Structure 1
């Protein structure tokens, strides 16, 4: 079975448990912290993946690292992954859990590319407008400043891209002029 399929199964099981206990938001936030630690600390993954480190040492390491930061549900999931030697699917599982959690709560995530940082009010307006467009109750906006944009916005929600950047508008105008439709 592929790692993606295994990660999906673990994420689904954790999702069902968190939903049953009413901890979707909490577990999702905790897992995002764990993901941040894994991605920013290569030694963490190296230690957990090292064949000479025993399972008991890995479990003790996980407990020492996360006991204060995460709930029992999240901690037990991490320990289960270590016990079953599946720690390599951790990030994939966390991403799948986040997708399941957002879907259940009717939330979407948007990456908004702009030439300059957006204000809180602008982010709120974008979230309100585009949440309706994609049929979601809430939209979480992540602003990425891209100095290559001359102006305007480029918004990515899932696999959809809304390109209202000046560069895209100029490119469309150029194509129309070349094609003689304008």
Structure 2
């Protein structure tokens, strides 16, 4: 996602409100789910970003879809709709997520491996790499990538740690040729 000053302002306001209500983690989880739902259904996303439908009608649709969701989440989406900023929703969620993770001392990481990681492996990776990025722990998403042959590739933000067999073979090839 690209950095958006507008999205960061909305996310910051939403995060402060969620913290005041002591519900930042709940809001974070629900925002992730709402983002998945909105972006899984292109028709819904287009509808919410369309100028042809009134904001009140859009809020009514969002309210019916998100029945039982946290009030901060629903109200925040309402503010985005009121200000014609639904096109920034994904950026707002990403910015909120970054704020919430920083407050919790965690970072999100993607681990590419040839098979599903066990819970012990996840904990071990988290313990080994969290301190390298100044965090207490990592939230790990495991992506299966058979072409690695073996080992793992870990991405935490802009940091990439590659201990895959594929990377080791490429390094060996460069050493032998160069």
**TM-score with structure 2 setting the length:** 0.94
On the 8 A contact 1:67/1:75 being kept in 2, the answer is no
The 2-side partners of 1:3 and 1:138 are apart by 24
The 2-side partners of 1:151 and 1:55 are apart by 51
The 1-side partners of 2:174 and 2:20 are apart by 54
The 2-side partners of 1:171 and 1:80 are apart by 50
The 1-side partners of 2:158 and 2:89 are apart by 23
Structure 1: gaps (5+ residues): none
SS state at 1:143 partner: strand
Aligned-residue CA RMSD in angstroms?
1.5
TM-superposed deviation, 1:176: 1.6
Give the corresponding residue for 1:77: 76
Q: Deviations over 1:82-136 (max 9, x none)?
A: 1111111111100110011101111011100011121222112111211133221
Structure 1 residues 105-120: aligned runs within 5 Å: 105-120=104-119
Is 1:158 equivalent to 2:157 in the alignment? yes
The 1-side partners of 2:112 and 2:97 are apart by 22
Number of aligned residues = 177
On the 8 A contact 1:3/1:89 being kept in 2, the answer is no
The 2-side partners of 1:6 and 1:21 are apart by 23
**TM-score with structure 1 setting the length:** 0.92
